């Protein structure tokens, strides 16, 4: 299936794809037109890279969690949890995939 695929989306923590036999480097050798997009909670390296990420964690670590609402006060608008949904990487990953597909289809390179 991967030999005929355009995109491989890796939503797992670093090393999971490799552990299940889907090493992107090896897959690219078999399908050089494959676009690999890796989206993780905290990146491929660093002290949090192996930690599962969730939007509430991103908001808390950024210091924005109190802006959602605190004791006896109204929440700010827009809610800070939307920040993690959009800035957490999914929107930019989707944009990057589309850009890579356009580039590949226009000049034949990844």
pLDDT category, 58, cuts 50, 70, 90?
A: confident
Give me the active site residues, please. Answer: 85
Percent of the chain exceeding pLDDT 90 equals: 43
pLDDT of 24 over the 80 cut: yes
Spatial CA neighbour of 93 closest among 2, 8, 6? 8
For 56, the enclosing helix (H) or strand (E) is: helix 55-62
pTM (two decimals): 0.74
Q: What is the pLDDT of residues 65-87, one digit of tens each?
A: 777 766 676 666 666 666 666 66
Say how far apart CA 17 and CA 38 lie, in whole Å.
10
């Amino acid at each position: 299936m991967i030999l005929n695929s355009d995109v491989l989306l890796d939503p797992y923590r670093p090393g999971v794809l490799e552990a299940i036999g889907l090493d992107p480097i090896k897959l690219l050798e078999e399908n050089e037109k494959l676009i690999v997009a890796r989206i993780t909670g905290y990146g491929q390296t660093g002290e949090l890279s192996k930690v599962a990420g969730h939007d509430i964690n991103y908001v808390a670590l950024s210091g924005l969690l109190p802006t959602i609402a605190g004791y006896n006060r109204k929440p700010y608008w827009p809610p800070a949890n939307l920040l993690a949904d959009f800035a957490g990487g999914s929107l930019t990953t989707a944009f990057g995939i589309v850009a890579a597909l356009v580039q590949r289809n226009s000049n034949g390179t990844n």
